[in-house]
Each structure stands twice: as C-alpha cells, then as structure tokens.
Amino acid sequence: MEPSEGKGSTEGVQKPTPASATRPEPVEVSKEETVAEKPAKTAEVKTEKAQPTPRPKRKPSDIDVEKKVENTKEDMPVVEKITVGHVHLSGCTGCLVSFADNYEGLFKILDDYADLVYALTLVDVRHIPEMDVALVEGSVCLQDKSSVEEIKEAREKAKIVVALGGCAAYGNITRFCRGGQWNQPQMESYVPINELIDVDLYIPGCAPTPQQIRNVCIMAYLLLKGTDEQKELAGAYLKPLMDLAQRGDEACGCDLMYDVINQGLCMGCGSCAAACPVRAVSMEYGKPNIDRDLCIKCGACYAQCPRSFFNFDVMNEFEGISELIKGVME
C-alpha cells in the first residue's frame, strides 16, 4: 500500500498482517504539536478518524530512560550493565516469550547484566534508542514502511544487531507468505533482516531456546564489559554465531544434505532430528531424512549439527563454561 503522508485517519489502516498480528503498534514520534494516536487494536482499524490527542513535549522514551536509571537496584554489582533492545518486526512474539521463559533468569539478567531499553511489549519506550545489542525478532515486510524504517534505525542505533530466531535470520515461515491475507492483502514480501542491513549474529530456531538467548546475553555482556580473559572467551563463543550471519540468509533441512552429507561430514549423531521443532527430520539408517514439505526453514538443524561448526577451543572448556553460566545466573 502507499504509505499515507498524514498522521490522521489512514494511519490506522496501515496495520499488521496476520504474520505480525501480535506486534504492538509502532507509534511514530513526530515533531508536530498534535499527532493522531494510532488505534491500539486492529479491531479499531475501521474507525473513521483517530482522535487527535495532545502530546507531551517530552518524548515518553526520555522519561522512561531517566526513570530506569533512578530505579537501579542498590545491590547491583558495580560493573555497568549493557543495554539491550527487542525490535519486533514480522514475528509471532514467540522469540520474546522464549527470552522471558528464562523465568527468574530473566530477572537476573535484567537486574545485573542488561537494561532492557526498548521492547514494545514490555517497556514503555516508543522510539528506538541507542543500545548495545538489538535483538531483532521477525522478518521485514517490504510493504510495511515503518518496519523498513525500524530495521534501518536499529542498525544505526545498535552496536550489535542480533537476528533473534528463524524469521529474522532466515525468513522462517514468513517465507511462505504470498499476500492475500486479511487485513493487509497487499503485504506479501517478507525478507530476513540480512537482506536490508548487515547483521552481526544469528540465533536460529523457531522458537530460539531460552538457554541460547541467555548464553548470548551473558557472552555479549562479557564481551563488552568483562575482563580480558572473559572477552576472549566470549569472542570465541560468539564467533560461530557471527559466522552463521555471514553464511547466508536461506535455511532449510536441505542444508543437512548440501553442507553436511554432500560434504562427507555426517556421522549420524541425530542432533538435527532432535533440534527440528516440527519433526521434519527423521533418522533412517543413521542419516537424516528430511520431509521437505514439513520444513519451515528455521535453521536449527544445521546450526545444531556438530559438523556445521565445532570450535574445540570453546567446547573443550564445556565444564568451566557451564559452571560460569550457572554461576552468573545465581
């Protein structure tokens, strides 16, 4: 659709497709004194005219950030936290839920290691701020102007951009969209964020696991704020996930054939079958067999395969690293 120039009535129509149905409305911050509030729910899309409401002079984001600093807990370690944001594009919020599924671990991360400075679902900040790490969930809809703007802005504002989950990294199920859905039938082109911006790190999977997100958060913290030794470990840990971001933005169970079996590398462990969220991989005589109709293109199987990457420098330290992760989460 043609994005409307005005901030008034048509603004509300420009809203999410089913693929991004749970995505909260991004509210554009405008310099104008009065701006139409977008209807909060898609149900209200048919409203003839949104009610113009007076805006406060200060952006809500400014207020919120200040408040956060005041609220910093006293028993927090003296070290600085990193700032993390969750950028929600065309995804189902499953990635964010997965992050939250660290339960008390999430609070630990937010108390001691990371300030959540942006997350439309959880934080009352309406405009992408500067941040250390942007966790981007969902693919970009090319017909949704605000999504395109948002991903570009995330790249400008974040030191590290992480494609969180299959949709951001590989398109995942949004790859199958052909448009025609209500209430935005013209929205039909969904691309992994890598097609529009440079991405630093991939966390594949649908949904990505709470533990993998936790590990990346901890390692990102150590990389930015740790001792020299911790920086080195974190760098080594994150490298294969950074390499995945360079490898490309198309994923399929077929990768097990192209990049493992066809390369003479498969040893029949079955990690791929365990990793697949839709049971598209079964083991037949010790080798993966892919039901290609079932595959949703999340990239978990290949990334989990010990023969996609296996960094001995990190793996040999598995006991120490597992204890370190356990320790920082306590």
Owner of token pair 């997965």: 98
Distance of closest approach, residue 149 Cβ to another protein, in angstroms: 30
The DSSP line for 20-46 is GTTSPPPPPP-SSSEEEPPPSSGGGGG
Out of ligand SF4, another protein, none, what residue 252 binds, judged by CB under 5 to 8 A for its kind, is ligand SF4
Residue 307, interface with another protein (CB under 8 A)?
yes
C-beta of 27 vs 269, nearer to ligand SF4 = 269
d(Cα 215, Cα 233) in Å, to the nearest integer? 12
Residue 292, Ramachandran bin (φ over 0: left; ψ between -120 and 50: alpha; else beta): alpha
How far is the C-alpha of 102 from the C-alpha of 97, rounded, in Å? 9
Restricting to residues 255-294, name those near another protein by CB under 8 A: 259, 263-271, 273-277, 283, 285-287
Which of the listed partners (ligand SF4, another protein, none) does 30 bind, with a CB threshold of 5 to 8 Å by partner kind?
none
> Token pair 């995942």 is at which residue?
172
Rounded to a whole number of angstroms, the minimum distance from the CB of residue 80 to ligand SF4 is: 37
Secondary structure element (H or E) that encloses residue 218, with its range: helix 210-225
Could you tell me the smallest distance in angstroms from the CB atom of residue 133 to ligand SF4?
24
- Residue 295 interaction partner, one of ligand SF4, another protein, none, beta carbon < 5-8 Å per kind: ligand SF4
Cβ at position 273, least distance to another protein in Å: 4
Using the rule CB under 8 A, which residue among 90, 205, 218, 252 binds another protein?
205
Q: Which long-range contacts (CB under 8 A, 24 or more apart) does 95-100 make?
A: 95/135, 95/137, 95/138, 95/164, 95/165, 95/167, 95/168, 95/207, 95/208, 95/213, 96/121, 96/122, 96/137, 97/207, 98/165, 98/207, 98/208, 98/209, 98/210, 98/213, 99/135, 99/164, 99/210, 99/213
* Among positions 24, 210, 226, 235, the unique one binding another protein when judged by CB under 8 A: 210
| Candidates 79-87, 108-116, 144-152, 198-206; binding stretch for another protein (CB under 8 A) | 198-206
322 binds, among ligand SF4, another protein, none (CB under 5 to 8 A by kind): another protein
SS3 114: strand
Q: By the criterion CB under 6 A, which residues form the site for ligand SF4?
A: 251-253, 256, 260, 266-272, 275-276, 278, 280-281, 288, 290, 295-301, 305-307
Least separation in angstroms between residue 286's CB and ligand SF4 is 7
Which of these segments, 65-73, 112-120, 175-183, 201-209, binds another protein (CB under 8 A)?
Answer: 201-209
Instruction: Tell me how far, at minimum, the Cβ of 176 lies from ligand SF4, in Å.
Output: 12
Does 91 contact another protein by CB under 8 A? no
- CB-wise, 278 or 314, nearer to ligand SF4? 278
Q: Which is nearer to another protein, 129 or 270 (CB)?
A: 270
Question: Which of another protein, ligand SF4, none sits in contact with 125, Cβ below 5 to 8 A by type?
Answer: none
Q: Using DSSP, how many helices (H) and how many strands (E) does the chain show?
A: 12, 11
Which residues of the chain form contacts with another protein (CB under 8 A)? 98, 203-205, 207-212, 215, 237, 240-241, 259, 263-271, 273-277, 283, 285-287, 300-301, 303-304, 306-312, 314-316, 318-319, 321-322, 326
